[in-house]
Amino acid sequence: MEVDSIFPQWIVDIATVMTMLGFFLTLWLLYEARHIRNSFLRRARLPQITKELGKASAHLSSHLQKWDSEEREAIKQLFITRALLENLLSKLPEKEHKKCAVFVKKLKRKKWGVIDIKFSEDDVWNLYSELSALTTMLIQLEKDSKWD
């Protein structure tokens, strides 16, 4: 069954190809727009969150020095750190996202599927060390993002 058209078949074929190219170009532009948006979010929020992480890390360090009397305050700083990193996760590139997600998962301790928030002093020292490394990585990412 052939439909009469005012356009020759070769014009219809070109229009079909151009439509398909336009579709793929639109998908690529959406991907690039998301990348640009995340880059701007990173530039705007990363310095603020890194500064807050530094403060939480300093508080955590001081509470660790007096663990016997300030254990609860130290754990509170860990939860503040977790909240800051969870907020930051969606704004990070894939590599940094994975590292932060692993750290956040460590802060969501589970024992047999039930949340277990008991951290020993050694656990918190280890988490503090990892937090220091993570904060350094984020500071370097902040510096790198100025070149994006």
Q: Convert the chain into a string of H (helix), E (strand) and C (coil).
A: CCCCCCCCHHHHHHHHHHHHHHHHHHHHHHHHHHHHHHHHHHHHHHHHHHHHHHHHHHHHHHHHHCHHHHHHHHHHHHHHHHHHHHHHHCCCCHHHHHHHHHHHHHHCCEECCEECCCCCHHHHHHHHHHHHHHHHHHHHHHHHHCCC
Give the model's pLDDT for residue 115. 59
148 residues of the chain, pLDDT tens digit each: 566 788 888 999 999 999 999 999 999 999 999 888 877 777 778 889 999 999 999 999 999 999 999 988 998 999 999 999 999 888 888 899 999 999 999 888 766 655 566 788 898 999 999 999 999 999 998 888 776 5
**45-145 has which fold?**
Four Helix Bundle (Hemerythrin (Met), subunit A) (1.20.120)
Give the model's pLDDT for residue 110. 64
Give the model's pLDDT for residue 63. 93
Give the model's pLDDT for residue 100. 93
Give the model's pLDDT for residue 57. 93
